[in-house]
Amino acid sequence: MFFSIFFPLAAILLTASLVALARRILQLPGRHLPLPPGPRARWFGTVKLPKEYQWLTYARWKDVYGDLIYVRVLGNPILVLNTAEAVTDLFEKRSARYSSRPTRSMVTELMGWDWLFSTMPYGPTWRKHRACFQQHFNVNALGGFKPIILREAHTLLHNLIMDDSALFHHVRRSAAAIVMMLSYGHQIAPEGDLYVTIADKALAGLAQAGIFGTYLVDYLSCLKYIPAWFPGAAFQRQAFEWRHMNRMMRDLPFEKVKREMTAGKAVPCFVTEQLDRLFTAASKAASEPALEGEDLVKNVAAIAYAAGADTTVSAILSFFLAVQVWPEVQTKAQRQIDAVVGPDRLPSFDDREDLPAIDCIVWECLRWNPVTPLGLARHVGEDDEYRGYRIPKGTTIVPNVWAILHDEKMYPEPLRFNPDRFADEEQNAALGINDLPNAAFGFGRRMCPGRALAFETIWITIVTTLAVFNISKAKDEHGNIIEPDIQFTPTLLSHPRPFCCVIALRSEKARSLVMQTLDR
């Protein structure tokens, strides 16, 4: 009796479900449109993606499939955008649909980077964090930041005079020192710092796991429930270790500033400014400052380090690598610096308008090897149509920043480091080539809000370095020139791989000028 009733009922329910699903599909906009082209799927409808240097593979696929490449991996639809036109059309002209982020099980849920507003979905929480950041780190505040930036540029010069073999350490320390002072009022020692070490370890984990799909759990979010002791769950144990580091990165320097404020010893900075506002608002309301407000300040302070340090480090190291291979860039820039600044002082921010060659070098450093070659993925929350193709709801959109900034039509000889490509703006505009590489900072509503600070930091570092040093290729023990290997790391945050070079003082006068800065 039970079976005679159950099976007909199940058949009716199944038929009704299929009819409802069919109606829903028929009502979808663009239901008749094809998906964008892409490589043929293999097993279970999945495309095998490269594990390293994905941006290079996607750039090669552009010649086969075009600037829109659609793939599915374990049921997850992914659309790669290989041109500035496609990115502009979707991320800027349709920003209301394309400004959110996909859920990243490994990075946000397991590793704990949910406080990083560059990974947050578009919405009120993201807006609060971005607004808080922009209150302090905006273009109008740059004037107050420049003395700190200049001081650390001079410290870098001094450190390179003392030991030019530790270039990578000195550059990273300099970038970290600027952000730590602006965010926490904390002066780090020349040899390094506990807080910087913790942050670097946390960011190294983010760089390794940050590209969407690096870990299987990004595609199969149910795997996040597998316990760490389970066979094959090494990603859980790794995520736990990285989570610990990123929480320390966020919490420890913030708590230090709070203790210093209580003792009346805090140096004015982002955290003190924001906490003073919270306490003032709380006293007027006769209540304690909201924990949510403190968490917001804590998050944004750490975000400033995470966002600022790696961009500047990558661009500055790219500069040291590139001028070895293209020494004419160094010669031309030094000629301009010598003519404008002279031999009796070091360059300053006041010289910028008279040193256009340095602007061009900075832009080329950002273009030649963008620190985020794949940008940060977006998420489309509703079905859409573009160029006659259907983009399904839930698709992860990946901007191939490397391909955009190495488009031969826009940037002739894209692999060559050539700052002169940006020198003649009128001619470039007439020919439709060599746009400034703003893509290095993101797109639309999610463009990096700290880009002006990053540019100024890179600019003063490069101009003071060129004023003081000659950079050239190293030699081995037999006097043979060591040709630098132009290689970059295959991670979300991409840097030049270790290389050697000679960093020699241009004159004893240059040494004296650097040493004088230590007495100020």
> Given this model, what pLDDT does residue 231 score?
84
Average pLDDT score over the chain? 87
3-state SS, 227-247, equals CCCCCCCHHHHHHHHHHHHHH
Residue 14 falls within a domain, yes or no? Answer: no
Mean pLDDT throughout 178-183? 92
- Contact by Cβ (8 Å): 463, 337: yes
Q: What is the pLDDT of residue 314?
A: 93
Amino acid at 489: T
Question: Which pLDDT score, from 0 to 100, does residue 67 have?
Answer: 93
Q: How big is the chain, counted in residues? A: 520
Number of H helices, E strands in the chain: 16, 8
Q: Is 448 annotated as a binding residue?
A: yes
φ/ψ of residue 80, rounded to 5: -95, 130
pLDDT band at 10 (very low <50, low <70, confident <90, very high): very low
**Highest mean pLDDT, choosing among 168-182, 324-338, 434-448:** 324-338
Instruction: Measure CA of the first residue to CA of the last residue in the chain; give whole Å.
Output: 96
Assess contact for 419 and 407: CB atoms under 8 A.
no
- On whether residue 16 sits in a domain, the answer given is no
Look at residue 13 and tell me whether its pLDDT is greater than 50: no
* pLDDT per residue as tens digits for the range 64-82: 999 999 998 888 899 999 9
Supply the pLDDT for residue 520. 59
Global confidence as pTM: 0.89
Backbone angles phi, psi at 352, to 5 degrees: -60, -45
pLDDT at 27 over 50: no
Q: Which residues contact 455 (CB under 8 A, 6 or more apart)?
A: 362
- CB 459, CB 359: distance < 8 Å: yes
Q: What is the pLDDT of residue 191?
A: 67
**Is residue 103 a contact partner of residue 76, using CB atoms and an 8 Å limit?**
no
Q: What is the distance between the alpha carbons of residues 463 and 355, in angstroms, rounded to a whole number?
A: 9
Whether residue 6 has pLDDT greater than 50: no
User: Tokens 């040493």 belong to which residue?
Assistant: 515
Whole-angstrom distance, CA of residue 299 vs CA of residue 302:
5
Residues 6+ apart with CB under 8 A from 359: 352, 422, 459
Range(s) of the domain holding residue 290: 28-517
pLDDT on residue 8: 43
Counted domains in the chain = 1
pLDDT at 9: 39
Q: Is the pLDDT of residue 196 over 90?
A: no
Write out the two tokens for 502. Answer: 């000679």
CATH at residue 125: 1.10.630.10
d(C-alpha 442, C-alpha 492), whole Å: 14
- Report if residue 155 sits inside a domain: yes
For residue 193, what are its two tokens? 């710092």
| Run of H or E including 68 | strand 68-73
Over the stretch 203-215, which tens digit does the pLDDT of each residue have? Answer: 888 888 877 777 8
Q: Are 165 and 137 in contact (CB under 8 A)?
A: no
| pLDDT more than 70, % of the chain | 90
User: Is residue 439 one of the residues assigned to a domain?
Assistant: yes
In this prediction, residue 151 carries a pLDDT of 95
- Distance of alpha carbon 493 from the chain centroid: 6
- Collapsing DSSP states into helix, strand and coil, what is residue 55? helix
Cβ–Cβ < 8 Å for 188, 176: yes
pLDDT confidence of residue 5: 40
Structure tokens at 266: 């805090």
pLDDT of residue 116: 85
d(C-alpha 251, C-alpha 244), whole Å: 11
CB 465 within 8 A of CB 337: no
Per-residue model confidence as pLDDT tens digits over 343-372: 999 999 999 999 999 999 999 999 999 999
Query: Average pLDDT of 175-188?
Result: 91
Alpha-carbon distances, residue 488 vs 160, 494, 506 (angstroms): 23, 6, 29
Percent of the chain residues topping a pLDDT of 90: 60
- pLDDT, one tens digit per residue, over 259-311 is 999 999 999 999 999 998 887 765 555 554 555 689 999 999 998 887 777 77
Residue 124 · residue 431 · CB < 8 Å: no
Phi, psi of 472 (to 5 degrees): -145, 170
Average pLDDT over residues 238-265: 92
Domain assignment of residue 1, yes or no: no
User: pLDDT tens across 125-171, in order?
Assistant: 999 999 999 888 888 888 889 999 999 999 999 999 999 999 999 99
Q: Which of 291, 296, 290, 238 is nearest to 271 (CA)?
A: 296
**DSSP 8-state class, residue 190:** T
The closest of 263, 254, 334 to 293, measured between CA atoms, is 254
Of 221-235, 427-441, 477-491, give the lowest mean pLDDT range: 221-235
